[in-house]
Amino acid sequence: MGEATVRLFVEEGANVLIGDVLDEAGRELAAELGNTAAYMHLDVTRKADWDHAVDAAGKLGDLTILVNNAAILLQKSIVDTTEEDFMAVIRVNQLGVFLGIQAVFECLKVNGGGSIINISSIDGLQSKNSLAAYSSSKWAVRGLTKTAALEMGKYRIRVNSVHPGGIYTAMHGADFISQEQADTFYNDHALPRVGLPREVATLTTFLASDEASYSTGSEFVADGGWSAGLVNTSLPQL
């Protein structure tokens, strides 16, 4: 999903710094995109890495946008989730967003404002069994988003959260199941198919743009209707 976002930002004319711990994939993407993108190793749980990233981004132009996309998934029952398991998810999914917002604030303020987009999840609006750590972190991103929006709005910095549903990425199993197989999980959804990374990227790009100039502190959902409910085939249908 991060890769799709980078590609769309570049298409729209942005210079992008890609930060990740997947160094080989990150370097390959930056090399493919040419002078409009650069890559650096970024462990989102380390403040020093964030500080270096902000410095590197400044070499590409005025820093005005941050997309907090990094996340890990853990599926375990509450009683089987260890303290170490829980905190590993919290550190990446929640602390990483917090440190990212902190790191970019002064630059965005000096540059006259900007947009911070925090990628949460449908599981930041509801939850499922086995997602004690993941869902906790994604709900926390919602709250952090609202606090940041309230504190930073006077500096023309907008902060919003994006809540994807099932998206066909490695986290969803794209490395070992086909898109058609993934679609079958969503037969009872309003849009009966898996979502695609670019469909989230388009929403993120909108929130980064001036077209979303009066939107802050809000949740934006791209879930194929998941949060609307499920289609009950035993009831009348169109």
Q: Which two tokens stand for residue 236?
A: 């009348």
CA-wise closest residue to 125 among 113, 117, 114, 134: 134
Q: Which two tokens stand for residue 104?
A: 């970019």
Question: 115 with 156: CB under 8 angstroms?
Answer: no
Q: How many other CB atoms are there within 10 angstroms of residue 39's CB atom?
A: 23
- Out of 39, 134, 168, 186, the active site residue is 134
What span, in angstroms and rounded, lies between the C-alpha atoms of 181 and 49? Answer: 38
Quick: pLDDT tens for 65-117.
Answer: 999 999 999 999 999 999 999 999 999 999 999 999 999 999 999 999 999 99
Residue 38, helix vs strand vs coil: strand
54 found inside a domain: no
| Number of domain units in the chain | 1
C-alpha atoms less than 13 angstroms from C-alpha of 87 in its C-beta half-sphere: 3
State what percent of residues in the chain have pLDDT above 90. 97
Residues 6+ apart with CB under 8 A from 234: none
pLDDT (0 to 100) of residue 171: 87
Question: CA angle, 147 as apex, 142 and 153 as ends, to 5°?
Answer: 115
Query: Residue 186 catalytic?
Result: no
The range of the structural domain enclosing residue 190 comes to 64-227
Residue 112: CATH number of its domain: 3.40.50.720
177 found inside a domain: yes
Scan for tokens 């995109």, then name that residue: 33
13 found inside a domain: no
Q: How many other CB atoms are there within 10 angstroms of residue 56's CB atom?
A: 16
Q: What is the phi/psi pair of residue 193, to 5°?
A: -160, 165
5 found inside a domain: no
Q: Quick one: average pLDDT of 122-145? A: 98
Quick: pLDDT tens for 150-205.
Answer: 999 999 999 999 999 999 998 889 999 999 999 999 999 999 999 999 999 999 99
